[in-house]
A and B are shown apart, each in its own frame.
Chain A
């Protein structure tokens, strides 16, 4: 490897860092505006035209804010854990292609690498909770671990089915294999599993059990403030964008769009970004719509619904590929399984015994005032 190559790589990674920071800034503004509109508010609109400079103001505020170090914390682990959360989420982006050949290194095991590295940030969350020496933080950290490891399995299984279909773990080849049909038509079940698991990995509503403000007051992040807190925040948004980008690449055909040339970089990047931002908007939409699941519901959904479905998905895809079933039938089977799961869940929700509440209405006759 020559020095020139090395310099090229370094400058590309620096460029990626800059682009990701800009994307995070845009996502924070987009989220606040979008949630605002859902709740019939205007969202931030004071700093700059239409509030466009709000994220910049936020960033400056966070850096210039005091970094509190509580007395009881385990100092080294406390300072290091934001890095443990951030660095793996950043390293994932080395191999996520934005258009054909617009990627830093197209690893042959790209998908496997992404899966392997995205799990690492769990360690950061646990150690952040542990080092904070705060009961809420510890509970939050362990909740994060329980949730993230449970939802990792549906993600792995849905990604596995995609790897089978494409016959490769290389993200560029996976996109190329979707030239005629995006995999969401062949794998609606897999897409559901991936998005569900992805939302849980992000810790976003409806799966925001570990930073739940009303239960564990911010979970592992209770004691953090200033720059160290903002690193967790940065990692969360980079992860949100990564999950959206992966959904686009694996299920929505990446930079390919009917009628547009797939080989032109400009149009490829444009198509990719449009699709990714649409998926991001869907994720924000969930946040504006759904209430939070309870932790027992979350674990049952993960282990009793999504993991068995993931196994069924893998087996169905494997059998379909081995017996050379037409692709449309694979898509239909997958869709039927998904629809019947929804149907069974909704029937069970309607027929489940309702918990009994005793409601005491105000009864004026008991007050003695009406007796007169």
Chain B
């Protein structure tokens, strides 16, 4: 694939981003013109099901989200390695195939170890 083709293809991607932005800008503009704006103190309060909201809103969050985020990072980066391999391994030499199987096995046993340790349990 030539550089020129790459430019042409990804120009379309950039144009799509700009078009999406533009469409939203038109919509928000229309809403800005059409929609009524009547502010009141009660209406602008955060909605917490009718109970008066307590002032500290950015509350602390449980650490369990963090653990799953780390797990996701590992498995998502693994995808970057797996995709190029998936396209070529059939015609490549055997070592390529076995090496990636070992890589997948390490990841899989890592997952099993985490499972055994109770990392995957939502607490």
Chain A residues with CB under 8 Å of chain B are 1, 5-6, 9-10, 13-14, 16-17, 63-72, 82-83, 86-87, 90-91, 93-94, 104-105, 107-108, 112-113, 115, 119, 130, 132-136, 138-139, 142, 145-146, 149-150, 152-153, 156, 160-161, 163-164, 167-169, 217, 222-223, 226-228, 230-231, 295-296, 299-300, 303-304, 307-308, 311, 314-315, 318, 321-322
13 more CB-based (< 8 A) A-B contacts, given A90-B20, A168-B87, A318-B101? A9-B11, A70-B46, A86-B24, A94-B16, A132-B46, A156-B75, A160-B86, A163-B87, A167-B90, A231-B24, A296-B121, A303-B115, A314-B82
Q: Tell me if A163 and B86 are in contact (CB < 8 A).
A: yes
Nearest-neighbour CB distance to chain B for A97, whole angstroms, equals 13
What does DSSP make chain B's interface, helix, strand, loop or mixed? helix
Bound-state CA distance A156–B79 (Å) is 7
Q: Are B27 and A87 in contact (CB under 8 A)?
A: no
Known A-B contacts A17-B23, A64-B35; the reply to A152 vs B76 at CB < 8 A is yes
Contact with A along B12-40 (1 / 0, CB 8 A): 11011101110110011011101111100
Query: Which residue of the partner chain B has the closest CB to A106?
Result: B9
* B64 nearest CB neighbor, chain A only: A146
**A104 contacts across to B, CB distance below 8 A:** 12, 16
If A152-B72, A226-B35 touch, does A82 touch B8 (CB 8 Å cutoff)? no
A300 touches B46 (CB 8 A): no
Known: A9-B11, A145-B65. A14 touches B19 (CB 8 A): yes
**Interface residues of B toward A: which range?**
35 or more
Complex: A216 Cα to B41 Cα, angstroms = 23
Count A/B pairs, Cβ under 8 Å. Answer: 201
Contact of A150 among B53, B72, B79 (CB under 8 A): B72
A160 to B58, CA, bound (A): 39
6 nearest A-B pairs in the assembled complex, by CB-CB distance:
A227-B31, A296-B122, A149-B72, A90-B20, A105-B12, A133-B57
Q: Is the CB of B31 within 8 A of A93?
A: no
Docked Cα-Cα span, A44 to B120, in Å, equals: 43
Contact B79 A299 (CB under 8 A): no
Whether A307 contacts B35 by the Cβ 8 Å rule is no
Beta-carbon contact of A318 and B97 below 8 Å: yes
- The reply to whether B35 and A63 contact each other, CB–CB distance below 8 Å, is yes
| Among candidates B24, B100, B121, residue contacting A82 with C-beta atoms closer than 8 Å | B24
CB distance A222 to B47 under 8 Å? yes
**CB <8 Å contact, B17 and A91:** yes
Pair B69/A149 contact, Cβ less than 8 Å: yes
State whether the Cβ of B95 lies closer than 8 Å to any Cβ in chain A.
no
Q: Do B21 and A5 touch across chains, with their CB atoms under 8 A apart? A: no
Q: Knowing A87-B20, A150-B68, say if A299 contacts B47 (CB, 8 Å).
A: no
A63 touches B48 (CB 8 A): no
Contact of A1 among B8, B36, B107 (CB under 8 A): B8
With beta carbons under 8 angstroms apart, the residue of B11, B49, B86, B90 that contacts A217 is B49
Contact residues of B between 67 and 123, Cβ < 8 Å to A: 68-69, 71-72, 75-76, 79, 82-83, 86-87, 89-90, 97, 100-101, 104, 107-108, 111, 115, 120-122
A142–B65 touching, CB < 8 Å: yes
Q: A133-B46, A134-B53, A160-B82 are in contact. Are A13 and B101 (CB under 8 A)?
A: no
A138 to B47, CA, bound (A): 12
Q: How far is the CA of A207 from the CA of B57 in the complex (A)?
A: 26
